[in-house]
């Protein structure tokens, strides 16, 4: 379902795909998930810490950099490295360069679906990259869907593709984050088979920050 200005996420019955419904942008999807997972995350709390009851990706990112009372964030050494990501960690990317068109023009939001996996994304042994499984709401699935035998896409697929046909909405895919030697983000690729040079976004243009509810 394409993102609309009004957010609507319906939790259905496990095993019945048609009973679920999503109409959300990336940031509003994450906000909905936060409220469902933690009743203490109320609209007023979001307003107090993020400046809005429905924060944009940029607002999430900036607060994760500065710190939030109910979150462990990138301001904390416990979550300033890619290797510290685990399932449930929120990944906020802020767009300093260009907007994303009909999505959230301030950036993109994702929820980690597991721990990062070391992966030599650029075929350069002198750099460090990590494959990170993510869940998000997007109009552009991660990677370029391929039905070719031997395509790298088959190792890191997105659930929003069937063959070479791609769909939008909520799904699971992979992003690829380059780090320095201390595992701090240096940039990312949207998917495994985007162009190694042209598809790379440095943190100068699209900085990355992390947050996790402090249980």
Q: What is the tens place of the pLDDT at every residue in 91-109?
A: 999 999 875 555 688 999 9
Average pLDDT over residues 12-33: 83
Both tokens of 157, joined, read 């697929």
d(CA 164, CA 81): 34
Average pLDDT, the chain: 91
Helices vs. strands in the chain: H and E counts, helices first:
3, 13
Q: Which of 178, 208, 188 is nearest to 80 (CA)?
A: 208
Instruction: Give pLDDT, residue 99.
Output: 58
Q: What are phi and psi of 199, to 5 degrees?
A: -90, 0
Q: How many of the other CB atoms lie within 10 Å of CB of 84?
A: 18
* pTM (2 d.p.): 0.91
Give residue for tokens 């039905």: 147
Is 3 a residue whose pLDDT tops 60? no
Q: What is the DSSP letter of 103?
A: S
Write the pLDDT tens digit of every residue in 157-212. Answer: 999 999 999 999 999 999 999 999 999 999 999 999 999 999 999 999 999 999 99
Give the strand pairing for 200-202 and 185-189. Answer: antiparallel
Question: Could you tell me the two tokens for 158?
Answer: 């997105």
d(CA 13, CA 202): 40
């Amino acid at each position: 379902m394409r993102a609309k200005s009004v957010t609507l996420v319906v939790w259905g019955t496990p095993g019945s795909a048609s009973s679920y419904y999503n109409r959300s942008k990336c940031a509003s999807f994450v906000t909905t998930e936060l409220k469902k997972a933690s009743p203490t995350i109320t609209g007023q709390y979001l307003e107090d810490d993020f400046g809005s009851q429905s924060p944009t990706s940029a607002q999430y990112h900036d607060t994760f950099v500065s710190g939030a009372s109910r979150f462990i964030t990138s301001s904390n050494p416990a979550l300033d490295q890619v290797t510290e990501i685990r399932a449930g960690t929120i990944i906020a990317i802020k767009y300093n360069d260009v907007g994303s068109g009909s999505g959230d023009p301030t950036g993109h939001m994702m929820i980690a679906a597991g721990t990062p996996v070391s992966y030599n994304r650029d075929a350069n042994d002198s750099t460090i990259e990590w494959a990170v499984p993510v869940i998000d709401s997007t109009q552009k699935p991660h990677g370029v869907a391929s039905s070719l035998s031997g395509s790298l896409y088959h190792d890191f697929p997105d659930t929003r593709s069937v063959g070479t046909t791609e769909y939008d909405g909520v799904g699971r895919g992979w992003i690829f984050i380059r780090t320095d030697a201390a595992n701090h983000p240096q940039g990312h690729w949207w998917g495994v088979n985007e162009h190694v040079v042209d598809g790379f976004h440095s943190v100068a243009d699209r900085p990355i920050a992390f947050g996790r509810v402090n249980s």
